[in-house]
Structure formats: structure tokens, C-alpha cells
Amino acid sequence: MRETYREQLESVIEDLVSMSESVKVAVRDSTRALLEADDAIAERVITDDERLDRIAEDIEHRCFSLLSLQAPVAGELRIVVSALRMDAELARMGDLAAHVAKVARLRYPEIAVPEKLRPNFTRMAEISERMVGTAGRTLKSRDIELAEALARNDEEMDDLRRSQFRLLLGDDWPYGVEAAVDVALLGRYYERIADHAVSMGRRVIYVVTGAVPAGSAQWP
């Protein structure tokens, strides 16, 4: 019975890791839909997000069962409580990727992001995608150094966001209000995906050490 319980717990973690893989793909695909104005890919990301929501619901139910039937304590309880939180974070990251895809679809066949901003978004998307991947690997390996490295990635994200605003609010923004609004909201979506990845890294630190990491203004 004890073995079955451990297996159930491991299976929840594995499914969260696999969910983070799916979110990573969603971030990559939504970016491609956005920067190449590909509405078929946009549609797929939006449809797949519903599947992700169902997976998240299933994981939550299994965490609930674990709590109910096994009454875990200490380290194992930390894992289940953190799994509940990370499950919600991953579902939210999926929603944000779908938001990006929806902007792509709305502006199709135009490309929502003006040419001057595309390198900025390409880089933002690369970082977000890598951070989601790192969050998943961190969860799998419970590697604290990797989890701490997630916070460093976020600084580059902040820099990119700042340079985005400089371009947007410069005197020579030639693309009009609609493009400005799209860029502001799209930048926000990527920024939030990165925030959630950082938060997942902090959760892993908490699972392994039992301590809430320092400087967690965004905690929980």
C-alpha cells in the first residue's frame, strides 16, 4: 500500500513534468503563430489549452485523493501542496500562451508585432520557453541550483520588457495605437509566463529545503 502511494505521488510529479513540456510547446507554437501570422498553429494552441485545463483538473483531483486517503506529512505533504500550486501555475501559463495565439489569430493575415519589435519578442519567447523547460527539469531533478538560476533568467526578461517600453514610448513610434496596445499586452503575457516559471522554481526550493526562499516578494 505504501508503495502504491509513493507511485501515485511520483505519477503526479511525472504528469506535472509532462505538462510543463506541453506548456513549453504551447509557448513555442504561439510565438510561431504570432511572428509568422500562422492562424492554423494559433488555432491548435487555443484548442490544446482546453486539454491542458482538463489535465490540470485531473492532477488536482489526484492530489486531493492523496491528501484524503494517505494523509502525507512533512516532505511528502510539501510535495503535494506544492504540486497543487504548480498545477495551477502551469494551467495559467497555458492560458497565457493561448492569449498570445488569440492575438495572432485576431490580426491574421497581418503580423501583430511590428518588424522593429520582432527580435525583442523572439528573445522574450526564447527565454520564456527555456524557463518553462527549466522549471520542468527542476521539478524532475529537484536541483536547487537550477531552481535558483531561474531567477537570473527573469532579469533578462525585465530588461527586454524595459527596452520594449522604450521603443513603444519613444517619440518615433510609427506603428499606431493598435500595434502599441498589442505589443504592451503581448509583452505582459510573456512576462507573466516567466514569473510563473520563477515561482515554480521557488516551489521546488521549498519542497527540497522546507524553507521559503529569501526575496520571494511574489510568494506565494
Q: How many whole angstroms separate alpha carbon 3 and alpha carbon 148?
A: 32
CB of 136 to a copy of itself, least distance (A): 19
CB of 216 to a copy of itself, least distance (A): 8
Which spans of this chain sit near a copy of itself (rule: CB under 8 A)? 50, 53, 56-57, 60, 63-64, 67-68, 71, 73-74, 77-78, 81, 84-85, 87-88, 91, 95, 165, 168-169, 173, 177-178, 180-181, 184-185, 188, 212, 217-220
CB of 63 to a copy of itself, least distance (A): 8
Q: Tell me whether residue 22 or residue 38 sits nearer to a copy of itself (CB atom).
A: 22
CB of 94 to a copy of itself, least distance (A): 11
Q: Tell me whether residue 5 or residue 32 sits nearer to a copy of itself (CB atom).
A: 5
Q: Can you tell me which residue has the cell 492562424?
A: 39
